Amino acid sequence: MANSRYNSLQVTLRKRLSKGLTFDFNYTFSKAFDDTAGSRSAYNWKTEKAVTQISPHVVNVLFLYQLPFGKDHQLGSGNAVVRSFVGGWQLSGITTFYAGLPFGTLTANCNVPNAGSCYADYNPGFSGPVRINGGYGSGDLSAANAPAFLDKNAFVSPAPFTYGNTPRTNVLGLHDPNRYTESLSLRREFQIREGVRLAFQADAFNPLNWVVFAGPNINITSSSFGKVTATSSSPRVLQFNARVMF
């Protein structure tokens, strides 16, 4: 048996189509707890309950805009050049922001035979900030001495036959980097002749080429503990397509 609890606040702001523009803004603030993962040990049930690894803040912005070129934005009026090439374009996009996920389990060396798994211990002799060396991704991550963004001295492996006293998730409120995604689309239909239209569309995914780093290594026995070794975003991608409709 297991339990989970989820609470959220959801806000939506919507503008219906007028003057060529429609958009939708929505925000979700959420928090959840569960005891459905981890070691699943009846000997260690108190540490099973933890913050669920979901993004606490999510923002979505969606829009569609009829670009204000050409008389009355109509293909059948205005200058012929405008009518053929400039008027009638639609720009649309989706932008999403996710707050960083809470850290998962800090793994460590342990000895709890036949009794589940263990987590790291807090180091009682440690004082000072655990987050170090600036924002995630700062410095030369490919160098032999790439910076770590967590201080390994803050944690130790637990004593034999103990489970460790760090929580299953959300250790010290630490979280992965925030994430962003964005896509844009530009579309236009051209009237070839009666009953025949050409639809052209250009899409850009991650058009600003944002780099979002993945979370740091959280295995305290690893030489890469606290280091960022990957990204969680894809590079810019452009896509063009055309379709004849009749």
Q: How far is residue 210's CA from residue 179's CA, in Å, rounded to a whole number?
A: 10
Q: How far is CA 224 from the centre of its chain?
A: 23
Q: What is the pLDDT of residue 147?
A: 94
From first to last of its 246 residues, the chain has per-residue pLDDT tens of 678 899 999 999 999 988 889 999 999 999 999 887 665 666 667 777 888 889 999 999 999 999 887 645 454 455 666 566 777 889 999 999 999 999 999 989 988 887 777 889 999 999 989 999 999 989 899 888 999 999 999 999 999 988 889 988 999 999 999 999 999 999 998 888 888 989 999 999 999 999 999 999 999 999 999 999 999 989 999 999 999 988
Query: What's at 170, amino acid-wise?
Result: N
Cβ neighbours, 10 Å, residue 88:
21
Give the pLDDT of residue 56. Answer: 94
pLDDT at 193: 84
pTM, whole model, 2 decimals? 0.82
pLDDT of the residue at 168: 87
Beta strands in the chain (DSSP E): 4-18, 21-34, 50-51, 57-66, 90-98, 121-122, 155-156, 179-193, 196-205, 237-245
Q: What is the pLDDT of residues 172-197, one digit of tens each?
A: 999 999 999 999 999 998 888 888 98
- Show the tokens assigned to 137: 């991704």
pLDDT at residue 75, rounded to an integer:
47
pLDDT tens digits, residue range 1-14? Answer: 678 899 999 999 99
**Number of residues that make up the chain:** 246
Q: What is the pLDDT of residue 40?
A: 61
Instruction: Please report, in angstroms and rounded to a whole number, the separation of the first and last CA atoms in the chain.
Output: 58
How much is the pLDDT for 184? Answer: 97
What is the pLDDT at residue 61? Answer: 97
Would you state the structure tokens that stand for residue 34, as one six-digit string?
């569960």
**DSSP bridge partners of 64:** 22, 92
